Amino acid sequence: MRILNIFQPRSGTEAGPSAILNSGLAGQLRSRFQQIYSDKPIEIRRNLPDPDYLGMKNSHTVSEATKHVSERVYEHSRSGDFVLTLGVDHSNAIGSLTGINKGILERLGRETTFIWVNAHVSMNTPDTSPSGYIHGMPLVFATGIAQTRGEGIFDWIHNDHLIDPKRIVYI
């Protein structure tokens, strides 16, 4: 098992992944997996200035951060590791989902089915989002329903990253 800790230096978020592990999850994982490796944390630093793009807030920062998450998850997924990503912003799911899908597709030659459990829809598009925050949009980018062209925002997401929406069980 491979644990990826996503560190966001914002008040209230920087300790989130550690708090999750220290609340008992680490002990439960150790009792179920023979080997657990913790990668060096992925640090997310806000790119300033980061003006709105197509109505999305912090789009450059989130795109760059989720790209790093996707690359790291892909490497481990491709090698056969079970990967657990811990972060406090739902937008991190863009990197987790795309990295897993690409790694499994490459390693096993088949797509992955995902079970998405969330109290929020997470399917806003840049056009339909009332807030513009990308944490409400992870599934539309991971499936390709929403695409941006230009300015380097989510242009790292290619066909081999994309999840077929028919392969998502939504709870």
Looking at the chain, the whole-number percentage of residues with pLDDT higher than 70 is 94
Task: For residues 133 and 130, give the distance between their C-alpha atoms in angstroms, rounded to a whole number.
Answer: 8
Smallest Cα–Cα separation from 95: which of 113, 110, 74? 74
Residue 103 tokens, joined: 């790694």
Please tell me the pTM assigned to this model: 0.88
Q: Are 18 and 7 in contact (CB under 8 A)?
A: no
Instruction: Tell me the pLDDT tens digit for each residue of 8-38.
Output: 666 666 677 778 888 888 888 888 888 888 8
Instruction: Tell me the pLDDT tens digit for each residue of 99-127.
Output: 999 999 999 999 899 999 888 878 999 99
Smallest Cα–Cα separation from 82: which of 161, 29, 158, 20? 29
Band of pLDDT at residue 57, cut at 50, 70 and 90: very high
In words, the CATH class of domain 2-170 is alpha beta
